[in-house]
């Protein structure tokens, strides 16, 4: 019974619990239904919004398409196989097709002109498939076959799943621009060719003009020698200076055209900066009037030869100095070279060319390096092409340097340029080379070191006539001894001497600290004008070079360059020869040469003739003996002496042949060649001997030898 009650209660409880559960579930079901309803509404709302957005998107796409169409940009849509899906109106207009004609066609087949372009298109196509955009130019053909150039900006068309379904290209007609570009290129080429032709023309013309010009200059010299009247001399001097100006103008134009044509290349070699500067100084020194002082200042830090284009550097400095000279009437012209930076391998040098000339105004400074610009455009006093500084600038820049100018009107100008040079070998010999300076002694005194009696006689006669004090040394040993004792303002040093030659003598003087002439200027005297001999002279510390035979003018120029002596007022060896009948020299004697050499001092000339025939001539025959005994050096010594001696008596042809003979001996050439040449000279001399004798006899009648020797 009790259990039955228990079961009844349990059943009642469970029924009640089930009803309660059902009620709860019913409520939940309603809640669920309501939730579902609102979810559906939400979903509908969302779908509507999406549709609206999509429509907006399509509208804006369409809007931009229309915009592009209105901008004359042709739109073309293709699938991945280049089949045209849609051609927009402006594209149709651009190409002359109807929309319907293009749809479904292969774009490449319809439009491409060049087969090569299909490669480009394949590349473009593969980029689009990867989803990349790109811009390219292409030539396509219109319906009527007419080609047009289009610039195409292409982009891939991607569907909602991110798959590339094709591409869209914006086409812009650039035919007009392309044609213009082609025309420009064409005219650029034409202009380039014209420029080249112009350069070629300039170069050729300059060359062609120079040939007749040289003839004019040469003829002017010859006319000078044909006893012109004073008036004619004036005309000739104008002719001479005008042709010189013309020649330098043409040189400028030629240089300029070469630089423009890129024909000038840097030629590197090892050279001595000091030597270059002193040779530049020499050439400019002659041209300066006494009112302008020239100074050279080379940084003593430079202890090496340098690698570079010697000629180019010399041209730059000569141009700048020429400029300075042109515009400087008085004051100074200085050249300074300083080391800005020195490394183990290089010198960075700064060159300054300064003058105290008329200067350049500030507004004109900007133009002076421009082609064909001349500052003094309105002033005819200053000639020139206006190319000099432009050339200079280009030469500096060609070597990797830069040039600038600083100037004040009426105060002067300073041109500064930098160049970087690789170091060459150490040139300690350069060190002992003295800084050039004019005499510091009150009494100018000159030392002549010369072993050849005839040469000695010649120079001493001239020095005597100019009232200059001098000493004589007959060889190197004697020269060293005398230089230790007394100071000289200038030393003339023959190079080829017995015992100690000119090089060694100079080296000994330069290396001896106690020698009072350690830094005195030394001028080499040599019959050989070879640059190698000149270079060697400078290397050994000589300052200058005088080539034998020299005329009195050249000797005078050298003397006035190194001393305070102004020889201008001295009458040039005229006295004794004046008032007499001018002699007529018969060939093989060279009259022109003798006139220049003796300047009318015929008494002196005759003495030289006598010395030659009495003392020198017989030595000639010894040459043959030495040659036959293979004693070449002995033979050469005599040959060498005779080169000058023959020239002193006007036997120029024989002198030239003798020079050739010396070269044959020096070059260790075939002995038979030497003998042949010797025989020719011998014949020549044989022919000349009676004429020499006759000349002496003719003139001895007029002159007393004693007078000259006094």
Partner 1 sequence: MKGIVFTEFLEMVEQHHGYATVDFLLENCDLPSGGSYTAVGTYDHREIVQLISLLSNKTETPIPSLLRSFGHHLFGIFNVTYPSFFKKATSSFDFLESIEHYIHVEVRKLYPDAELPTFHTKRINSNQLEMIYVSDRRMSALAYGLIEKAMEFYKEPCTIQEEHIDPSGQEVKFLITKDA
Q: What residues make contact with partner 1 under the rule CB under 8 A?
A: 6, 9-10, 12-14, 16-18, 20-21, 24-25, 28
User: Is residue 52 classed exposed, middle or buried when 0-12, 13-18 and 19+ CB atoms within 10 A define those classes?
Assistant: exposed
Nearer to partner 1, 14 or 698 (CB): 14
- 69 contacts 90 by C-beta, under 8 angstroms: yes
Nearer to partner 1, 18 or 464 (CB): 18
To partner 1, the closest distance from the beta carbon of 4 in angstroms equals 12
CA distances from 693 to 156, 589, 696 (A): 111, 12, 5
- Separation of alpha carbons 306 and 378, rounded Å: 42
Nearer to partner 1, 6 or 238 (CB): 6
Identify the CA nearest to 388 among candidates 358, 363, 415, 354.
415
- 91 contacts 171 by C-beta, under 8 angstroms: yes
- Separation of alpha carbons 507 and 433, rounded Å: 10
To partner 1, the closest distance from the beta carbon of 21 in angstroms equals 4
To partner 1, the closest distance from the beta carbon of 24 in angstroms equals 5
- 416 contacts 406 by C-beta, under 8 angstroms: yes
- Separation of alpha carbons 99 and 92, rounded Å: 6
To partner 1, the closest distance from the beta carbon of 11 in angstroms equals 11
To partner 1, the closest distance from the beta carbon of 36 in angstroms equals 18
- At residue 359, the 3 state secondary structure works out as coil
Identify the CA nearest to 419 among candidates 339, 361, 496.
339
Nearer to partner 1, 14 or 234 (CB): 14
Nearer to partner 1, 14 or 687 (CB): 14
To partner 1, the closest distance from the beta carbon of 43 in angstroms equals 21
Identify the CA nearest to 257 among candidates 319, 208, 211, 203.
203
- 661 contacts 528 by C-beta, under 8 angstroms: no
Nearer to partner 1, 20 or 47 (CB): 20
Identify the CA nearest to 349 among candidates 304, 282, 412.
304
Nearer to partner 1, 27 or 410 (CB): 27
To partner 1, the closest distance from the beta carbon of 32 in angstroms equals 14
CA distances from 44 to 37, 39, 57 (A): 11, 9, 20
Pairing status of strand 84-87 against strand 74-79:
antiparallel
Identify the CA nearest to 155 among candidates 58, 89, 68, 70.
68
CA distances from 159 to 47, 75, 86 (A): 20, 18, 16
Nearer to partner 1, 28 or 586 (CB): 28
Identify the CA nearest to 447 among candidates 393, 520, 352.
520
H/E run at residue 310: helix 310-327
Nearer to partner 1, 9 or 669 (CB): 9
Identify the CA nearest to 167 among candidates 137, 135, 139.
135
Nearer to partner 1, 8 or 464 (CB): 8
To partner 1, the closest distance from the beta carbon of 121 in angstroms equals 57
What is the sign, positive or negative, of the torsion defined by CA atoms of 258, 262, 263, 265? positive
- 107 contacts 75 by C-beta, under 8 angstroms: no
To partner 1, the closest distance from the beta carbon of 19 in angstroms equals 9
Length of the chain: 710
To partner 1, the closest distance from the beta carbon of 31 in angstroms equals 12
To partner 1, the closest distance from the beta carbon of 25 in angstroms equals 7
To partner 1, the closest distance from the beta carbon of 42 in angstroms equals 19
Nearer to partner 1, 23 or 625 (CB): 23
Could you say which DSSP state residue 112 is in? B
To partner 1, the closest distance from the beta carbon of 26 in angstroms equals 11
Q: What is the CA radius of gyration of the chain?
A: 49
- Separation of alpha carbons 490 and 438, rounded Å: 9
Nearer to partner 1, 17 or 238 (CB): 17
Nearer to partner 1, 14 or 185 (CB): 14
Token pair 């025309």 is at which residue? 183
């Amino acid at each position: 019974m009790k259990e039955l009650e228990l079961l009844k209660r349990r059943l009642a409880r469970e029924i009640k619990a089930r009803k309660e559960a059902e009620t709860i579930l019913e409520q939940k079901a309603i809640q669920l239904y309501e939730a579902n309803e609102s979810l559906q509404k939400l979903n509908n709302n969302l779908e509507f919004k999406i549709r609206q957005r999509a429509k907006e998107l399509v509208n804006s796409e369409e809007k931009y398409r229309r915009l592009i169409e209105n901008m004359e940009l042709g739109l073309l849509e293709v699938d991945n196989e280049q089949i045209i899906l849609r051609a927009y109106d402006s594209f149709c207009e651009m190409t002359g097709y109807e929309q319907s004609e293009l749809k479904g066609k292969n774009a490449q087949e319809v439009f491409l002109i060049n087969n090569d372009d299909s490669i480009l298109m394949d590349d473009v196509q593969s980029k689009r498939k990867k989803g990349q955009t790109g811009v390219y130019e292409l030539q396509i053909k219109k319906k009527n076959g007419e080609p047009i150039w289009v610039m195409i900006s292409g982009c891939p068309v991607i569907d909602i799943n991110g798959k590339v379904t094709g591409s869209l290209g914006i086409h812009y007609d650039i035919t007009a621009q392309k044609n213009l570009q082609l025309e420009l290129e064409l005219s650029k080429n034409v202009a380039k060719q014209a420029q080249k032709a112009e350069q070629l023309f300039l170069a050729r013309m300059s060359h062609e003009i120079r040939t007749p010009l040289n003839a004019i200059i040469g003829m002017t010299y010859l006319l000078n020698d044909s006893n012109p009247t004073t008036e004619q001399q004036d005309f000739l001097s104008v002719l001479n200076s005008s042709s010189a100006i013309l020649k330098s103008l043409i040189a400028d134009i030629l240089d300029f055209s070469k630089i423009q044509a890129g024909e000038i290349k840097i030629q590197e070699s090892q050279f001595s900066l000091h030597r270059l500067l002193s040779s530049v100084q020499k050439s400019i020194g002659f041209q300066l009037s006494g009112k302008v002082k020239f100074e050279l200042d080379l940084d003593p830090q430079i202890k090496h030869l340098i690698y570079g284009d010697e000629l180019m550097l010399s041209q730059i400095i000569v141009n700048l100095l020429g400029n300075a000279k042109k515009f400087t009437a008085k004051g100074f012209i200085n050249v300074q070279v300083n080391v800005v930076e020195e490394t183990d391998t290089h010198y960075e040098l700064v060159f300054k060319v300064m003058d105290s000339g008329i200067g350049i105004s500030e507004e004109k400074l900007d133009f002076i390096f421009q082609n064909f610009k001349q500052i003094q455009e309105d002033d005819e006093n200053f000639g020139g092409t206006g190319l000099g500084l432009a050339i200079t600038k280009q030469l500096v820049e060609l070597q990797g340097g830069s040039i600038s100018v600083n100037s004040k009107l009426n105060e002067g100008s300073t041109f500064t340029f930098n160049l970087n040079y690789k170091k060459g070998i150490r040139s300690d010999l350069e060190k002992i080379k003295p800084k050039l300076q004019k005499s510091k002694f009150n009494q100018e005194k000159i030392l002549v070191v010369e072993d050849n009696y005839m040469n000695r006689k010649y120079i001493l006669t001239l020095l005597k006539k100019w009232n200059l004090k001098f000493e004589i040394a007959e060889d190197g040993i004697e020269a060293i001894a005398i230089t230790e004792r007394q100071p000289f303002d200038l030393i003339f040093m023959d190079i080829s001497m017995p015992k100690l030659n000119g090089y060694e003598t100079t080296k000994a003087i330069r290396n001896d600290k106690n020698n009072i002439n350690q830094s005195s200027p030394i001028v080499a005297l040599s019959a050989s004008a070879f640059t190698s001999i000149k270079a060697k002279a400078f290397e050994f510390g000589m300052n200058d070079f005088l080539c034998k035979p020299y005329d009195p003018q050249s000797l005078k120029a050298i003397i006035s360059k190194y001393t305070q002596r102004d020889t201008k007022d001295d009458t040039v060896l005229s006295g004794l020869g004046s008032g007499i009948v001018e002699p007529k020299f018969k060939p093989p004697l060279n009259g022109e040469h003798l006139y220049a050499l003796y300047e009318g001092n015929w008494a002196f000339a005759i003495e030289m003739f006598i010395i030659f025939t009495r003392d020198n001539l017989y030595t000639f025959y010894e040459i043959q003996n030495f040659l036959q005994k293979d004693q070449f050096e002995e033979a050469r010594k005599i040959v060498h002496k005779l080169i000058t001696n023959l020239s002193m008596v006007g036997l120029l042809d024989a002198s030239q042949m003798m020079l050739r003979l010396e070269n044959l001996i020096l070059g260790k050439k075939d002995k038979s060649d030497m003998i042949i040449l010797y025989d020719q000279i011998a014949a020549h001399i044989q022919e000349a001997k009676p004429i020499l004798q006759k000349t002496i006899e003719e003139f001895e009648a007029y002159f007393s030898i004693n007078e000259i020797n006094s």
